[in-house]
C-alpha cells in the first residue's frame, strides 16, 4: 500500500511540474528592493484584515488586465486604499508573477496600518488614508549597486539617458519610458527606465521625475542605481534588465487547452484528496476505539443535562441581552466572551464557542468534565455549560478587573499594580499551575499560559482562565504527542519542533510571563519589518551584563524610595524566569520547584543557560507559515491550531523525518497545500463566458461559483495560469517543508 501511494505521489508531482513549467521571453523582475511598514497599529485588526484580504483579491483581478489597480475598500480608519502597478515592459504573465511576490511579502506589515513595497518589476502601497496624489515623501530614497565603478564616458551617457527618459515619460499615456544608449568610445551600453504612478497628474509626475533625475546621479560612478520615490521609480544599469515589448499571443484553441489542463490537474488533486480522506477517517476510528475513558456522545450529553452544570440556552441568551454587543468582553481563539446577569442577580462570563458541530461534541464534554474536576483559589471557576441549544456555551464566574495584560502593558493602568501586588499575582499563578500539574485526581497541562489568560478578581488576585487547549496527562506517560496549538512566543522549542507536550511547556510559558510582569513589555508586541530582539533575548543580554534593573517597568518606579528596596526581589524573579525558559527542558525547574525559588528569597539560584532564539541568525520573519500551521491541523481534532502573535521561529539542522513526522504527514500536507492554493487561485481569476467547456464536475463547480446561472470559464494564456500557480505553490511548499523538517 505504501509503495503504491508513493508511486501515485511521484506521478502527481511529475505531472504538476510538467504542467506548471511556462516560458516567457521576459523577466518578472520580482526581486524585492525595499519595503516600508508604517509605525502605527491598526484601529480594528479584525475589520482591517478583512478589508486587506478583499483588497488584495480585487487588485489581483484588475492587475491582470490593466497592469495597474487603484482600490478603496471600507470606510473610516479601517479602510484600505491600495495602489499597485507593474512597469510598462512587463508582459501579462510577468506582471502577475511580480504581484504574486507582493502578496507574499506585504502581509508582513500586519498589524501595522499600512506599507509599501518596491520590486524591480512592480510596486504596491496600502494605507488607511488616500495617498493617490502624493509624489514625494520622507521615505524617498536611492539604492546604489556598488559592485563596479564605471568610466567618465559611462557617467556622461547615463546622465543624458536619464534626461531623455524623464522627458519621454510625459509623452506616453502609460507614464513609462526606457532607453538604451551606447557609451561613446566603448562597446558598452547603459540601460535606463522610469515610470510614474498613473494616479498622478502630469505636473506631479514631472516634479517626481525631476527629483528622481537629480537623485539617481548620486549613484554614479557605480554601475547601477535606483530611485524609490513616493510617486515614481527610476533605474539605470550597465546590464540589460529591460524586457522585450510585450507581444499579444492569440490561439483559437486557447480555451480548450485550459479546460483540458484544469480538468486533468483537478482530477488528480481530487483523487489524491479523496484517498487521504479515506485513510484519515480509518486512522481516526482506530484512535477513537483505543482512547481510554471515551463515552458515547449522547450518553455524556444526558449526564450533563441532568446535572447541576447544565444551563438552559434561553436562560444564557437572556442573561447576555440576546448576545448584545454592549455586553461583549472580548474574543479569543475559540470563542467570544460576553458578560451576563442571571435572574438572581449573579454576574457571569459566557464563552460562546466558535466550533459548534457534532464532531467536536465529545471534546466539548470531556473538556467540561476536566475543568469541573479541578477547583483551586487561583483557577477561574466553571459554573456550568449549555449543551441543549444550537451552540456550545461555557459559563464562568465573572471577574470585573478583566485580564493581567490590560494592566502591565498599559502605561496608565500599569501604575495600579505595585510590585507587591505583581509579586502576589506571580505567586498565585505559580500555585495554580502547581495544582494543575500535581493534583492527585487529574494532572493537567494548560498549554496557553500568558498574560491575557490570567484574570484578576476585585482584590487583584490571579486566576488562571481559558482551558480550551488544556490536556489531561497520565502518570505512566513521559509526554503527549499532539498537534501544535498555543501562542507563539510562549511555546517551548521541543513542543514547536516535535509536538511533544510535557509540564515543562507550562513552565516555559510561566517564565515568559515572569519577564513580562517585571518589564511591562510583551514578548509578542514588537512587530516591525526588521527582526528585532525578542523580550527573551533582551532579558538574557541584560542579565549577563548585570544590568537587569534597566529593564524594570517604569510604572514600578523601582529607582525611587521606598520601591528601591524591592529591586533585589525583582531581579530574582527575572532570574527564575530565565531558568524557566532554558532551551533544554531537563534544565527547567518543575512548577513546584519554581514556586519554592520565588517564595524563599534566601535560597541560592543556579545560573541559567541560554534561552532559545537568542542568536539573531536563528530567527526569521515568517508570517505565512503561521497561516499554513492553521490550515494543516488535520491530525488531531482534539487540538485546534491557533498559532498567533509572533514572527520568530527556531531553526533546526535535522533534515531527516523525526519520530512524529511520518511519510503520511508529508503526503497529506503536500497535497492539501496544493489543492488549497490551486482552489484559491482559481476563485480569484478573471472569467469569460465558457464554463460549459469544463468536463470535470469539480472544475465546473469552481468555475460557476460566483453565480448559480453562470456559464463561465477562466480564459487567458495557459502560460500565465501555470506560471502564477507554480510561483504561489513553490513559495507555500518551501515554507511548509521548512516547518515539517524543523529548520
For residue 68, which phi and psi values (nearest 5 degrees)? -155, 160
Active site residue 636: no
Choose the catalytic residue: 89, 448, 506, 635. Answer: 448
Closest CA relative to residue 70, chosen from 54, 87, 88, 58:
58
3-state SS, residue 135: coil
C-beta atoms surrounding 511 within 10 Å: 28
What DSSP string runs through 221-266? TEEEEEEE-SSEEEEEESS--PPPPP-----TTHHHHHHHHHHHHH
Integer Cα distance of 487 and 392 in angstroms: 23
Report the Cα 122 to chain-centroid distance in Å. Answer: 24
Integer Cα distance of 558 and 540 in angstroms: 20
Which residues are within 8 A (CB) of 436 and not within 5 positions of it... i.e. 6 or more apart? 374, 376, 379, 443, 444, 445, 446, 464, 470, 506
Closest CA relative to residue 63, chosen from 90, 36, 25, 24:
90
Contact 685, 708 (CB under 8 A): no
3-state SS, residue 467: coil
Q: Give the position of cell 539617481.
A: 216
Please state the length of the chain.
Answer: 743
Q: Which helix (H) or strand (E) holds 512?
A: helix 503-519
C-beta atoms surrounding 93 within 10 Å: 25
> Which grid coordinates are listed for 436?
494543575
- 34 is known to lie in a ligand binding site: no
Integer Cα distance of 215 and 140 in angstroms: 10
Question: DSSP E strands: which ranges in 559-705?
Answer: 687-688
Contact 388, 300 (CB under 8 A): no
| Packing angle, helices 624-631 and 718-741, rounded to 10 | 80
Closest CA relative to residue 535, chosen from 549, 556, 558, 518:
518
User: Considering Cα of 165, then 166, then 172, then 176, what sign does the dihedral take?
Assistant: positive
Q: Which residues are catalytic?
A: 448
Binding-site annotation, residues for ATP: 351
Binding-site annotation, residues: 351
Amino acid at each position: 500500500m505504501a509503495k503504491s501511494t508513493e508511486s501515485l505521489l511521484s506521478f502527481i508531482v511529475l505531472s504538476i511540474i510538467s504542467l506548471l513549467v511556462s516560458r516567457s521571453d521576459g523577466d518578472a523582475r520580482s526581486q524585492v528592493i525595499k519595503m516600508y511598514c508604517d509605525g502605527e497599529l491598526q484601529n480594528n485588526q479584525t475589520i482591517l484584515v478583512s478589508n486587506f484580504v478583499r483588497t488584495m483579491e480585487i487588485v489581483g483581478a484588475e492587475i491582470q488586465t490593466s497592469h495597474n489597480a487603484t482600490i478603496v475598500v471600507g470606510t473610516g480608519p479601517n479602510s484600505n486604499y491600495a495602489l499597485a502597478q507593474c512597469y510598462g515592459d512587463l508582459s501579462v504573465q510577468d506582471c502577475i508573477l511580480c504581484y504574486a511576490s507582493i502578496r507574499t511579502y506585504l502581509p508582513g506589515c500586519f498589524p501595522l496600518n499600512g506599507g509599501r513595497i518596491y520590486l524591480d518589476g512592480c510596486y504596491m502601497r496600502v494605507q488607511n488614508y488616500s495617498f493617490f496624489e502624493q509624489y514625494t515623501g520622507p521615505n524617498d530614497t536611492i539604492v546604489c549597486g556598488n559592485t563596479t565603478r564605471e568610466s567618465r564616458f559611462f557617467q556622461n551617457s547615463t546622465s543624458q539617458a536619464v534626461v531623455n527618459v524623464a522627458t519621454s515619460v510625459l509623452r506616453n499615456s502609460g507614464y513609462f519610458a526606457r532607453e538604451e544608449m551606447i557609451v561613446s568610445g566603448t562597446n558598452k551600453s547603459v540601460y535606463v527606465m522610469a515610470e510614474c504612478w498613473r494616479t498622478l497628474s502630469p505636473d506631479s509626475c514631472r516634479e517626481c521625475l525631476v527629483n528622481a533625475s537629480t537623485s539617481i546621479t548620486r549613484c554614479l560612478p557605480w554601475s547601477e542605481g535606483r530611485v524609490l520615490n513616493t510617486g515614481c521609480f527610476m533605474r539605470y544599469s550597465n546590464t540589460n534588465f529591460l524586457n522585450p515589448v510585450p507581444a499579444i499571443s492569440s490561439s483559437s484553441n486557447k480555451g480548450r487547452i485550459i479546460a483540458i489542463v484544469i480538468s486533468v490537474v483537478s482530477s488528480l488533486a481530487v483523487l489524491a484528496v479523496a484517498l487521504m480522506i479515506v485513510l484519515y477517517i480509518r486512522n481516526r476510528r482506530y484512535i477513537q476505539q483505543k482512547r481510554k475513558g471515551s463515552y458515547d456522545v449522547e450518553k455524556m450529553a444526558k449526564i450533563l443535562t441532568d446535572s447541576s452544570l447544565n444551563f438552559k440556552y434561553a436562560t444564557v441568551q437572556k442573561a447576555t441581552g440576546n448576545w448584545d454587543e454592549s455586553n461583549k468582553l472580548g474574543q479569543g481563539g475559540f470563542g467570544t466572551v460576553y458578560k451576563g446577569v442571571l435572574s438572581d442577580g449573579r454576574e457571569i462570563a459566557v464563552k460562546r464557542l466558535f466550533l459548534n458541530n457534532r464532531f467536536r461534541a465529545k471534546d466539548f464534554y470531556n473538556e467540561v468534565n476536566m475543568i469541573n474536576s479541578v477547583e483551586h483559589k487561583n483557577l477561574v471557576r466553571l459554573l456550568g455549560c449549555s449543551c441543549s441549544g444550537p451552540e456550545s456555551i461555557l459559563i464562568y464566574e465573572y471577574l470585573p478587573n478583566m485580564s493581567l495584560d490590560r494592566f502591565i502593558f498599559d502605561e496608565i493602568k500599569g501604575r495600579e499594580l505595585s510590585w507587591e501586588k505583581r509579586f502576589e499575582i506571580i505567586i498565585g499563578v505559580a500555585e495554580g499551575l502547581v495544582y494543575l500539574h500535581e493534583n492527585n485526581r487529574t494532572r493537567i497541562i494548560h498549554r496557553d499560559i500568558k498574560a491575557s489568560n490570567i484574570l484578576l478578581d476585585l482584590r487583584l488576585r490571579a486566576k488562571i482562565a481559558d482551558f480550551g487547549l488544556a490536556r489531561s496527562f497520565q502518570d505512566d506517560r513521559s509526554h503527549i504527542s499532539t498537534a501544535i496549538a498555543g501562542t507563539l512566543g510562549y511555546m517551548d522549542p521541543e513542543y514547536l519542533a516535535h509536538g511533544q507536550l510535557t509540564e515543562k511547556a507550562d513552565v516555559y510559558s510561566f517564565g515568559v510571563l515572569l519577564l513580562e510582569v517585571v518589564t511591562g513589555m510583551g514578548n509578542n508586541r514588537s512587530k516591525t519589518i526588521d527582526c528585532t530582539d525578542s523580550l527573551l533575548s533582551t532579558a538574557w543580554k541584560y542579565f549577563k551584563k548585570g544590568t537587569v534593573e534597566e529593564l524594570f517597568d517604569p510604572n514600578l518606579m523601582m529607582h525611587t524610595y521606598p520601591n528601591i528596596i524591592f529591586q533585589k526581589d525583582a531581579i530574582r524573579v527575572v532570574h527564575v524566569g530565565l531558568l524557566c525558559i532554558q532551551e533544554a527542558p531537563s534544565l527547567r525547574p518543575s512548577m513546584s520547584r519554581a514556586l519554592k525559588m520565588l517564595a524563599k528569597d534566601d535560597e541560592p539560584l543556579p545560573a541559567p543557560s541560554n534561552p532559545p532564539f537568542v542568536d539573531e541568525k536563528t530567527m526569521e520573519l515568517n508570517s505565512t507559515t503561521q497561516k499554513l500551521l492553521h490550515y494543516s491541523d488535520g491530525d488531531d481534532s482534539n487540538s485546534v491550531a491557533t498559532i498567533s502573535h509572533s514572527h520568530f521561529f527556531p531553526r533546526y539542522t535535522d533534515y531527516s523525518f523525526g519520530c512524529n513526522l511520518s511519510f503520511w504527514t508529508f503526503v497529506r500536507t503536500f497535497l492539501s497545500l496544493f489543492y488549497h492554493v490551486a482552489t484559491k487561485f482559481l476563485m480569484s481569476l478573471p472569467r469569460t463566458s465558457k464554463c460549459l467547456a469544463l468536463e470535470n464536475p469539480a472544475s465546473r463547480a469552481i468555475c460557476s461559483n460566483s453565480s448559480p446561472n453562470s456559464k463561465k470559464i477562466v480564459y487567458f494564456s495557459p502560460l500565465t495560469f501555470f506560471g502564477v500557480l507554480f510561483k504561489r505553490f513553490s513559495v507555500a511548499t518551501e515554507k511548509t517543508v521548512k516547518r515539517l523538517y524543523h529548520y
